[in-house]
Structure 1
């Protein structure tokens, strides 16, 4: 399955808010064949990064949209290195 890194630009983002949103993603991701692996938050610069296995980029964004409405501003297919 393809691996994606998505990027959100959110002024005033907090790690606590992202943790809540991530939990909502986990609750519904199976309905779309998606597996959100991990996320990172850069509070100082208002950025969130999510790593996700998904059949396609739209499926990954659909989970965000349905779970909490915060769709990614960018999404990139990536290959994991060692």
Structure 2
């Protein structure tokens, strides 16, 4: 299944605790769209959140965020894993 990295830009910064709560909502809702959120990263000071998921499409990953809590990503990229 393809992997997607989505990027959220949050004006004024964000706390890791707030993002953890949103991530829990994603996990509870992800099955509806056959999405699996794998990991996320937070830059609190810059207000940036990065979410890695496996999803059938970018639209499916976006739908989970929209329906679970409304914090839709500003950008989303299909990514590959290389070493």
What are the ranges of 5 or more consecutive residues in structure 1 without an aligned counterpart? Answer: none
Q: Which 4+ residue blocks in structure 1 deviate beyond 3 angstroms?
A: none
Equivalent residue, structure 2, for 1:79: 80
Question: What CA deviation, in whole Å up to 9, does each residue of 1:1-37 have, x standing for no partner?
Answer: 1100000001221100000000000001011100000
Secondary structure of the equivalent of 1:44? Answer: coil
| CA apart distance, 1:81 | 1.6
Equivalent residue, structure 2, for 1:3: 3
Equivalent residue, structure 2, for 1:25: 26
The structure richer in helix per residue is 1
Equivalent pairs, count: 82
- RMSD, aligned α-carbons: 0.6
Give TM-score, length-normalised by structure 1. 0.97
Secondary structure of the equivalent of 1:49? Answer: strand
Which runs of structure 2 are paired with 1:32-47 in the superposition (5 Å)?
Answer: 32-47=33-48
Give TM-score, length-normalised by structure 2. 0.96
| Residues in 2 aligned to 1:40 and 1:6: alpha-carbon distance in whole angstroms | 10
What are the ranges of 5 or more consecutive residues in structure 2 without an aligned counterpart? Answer: none
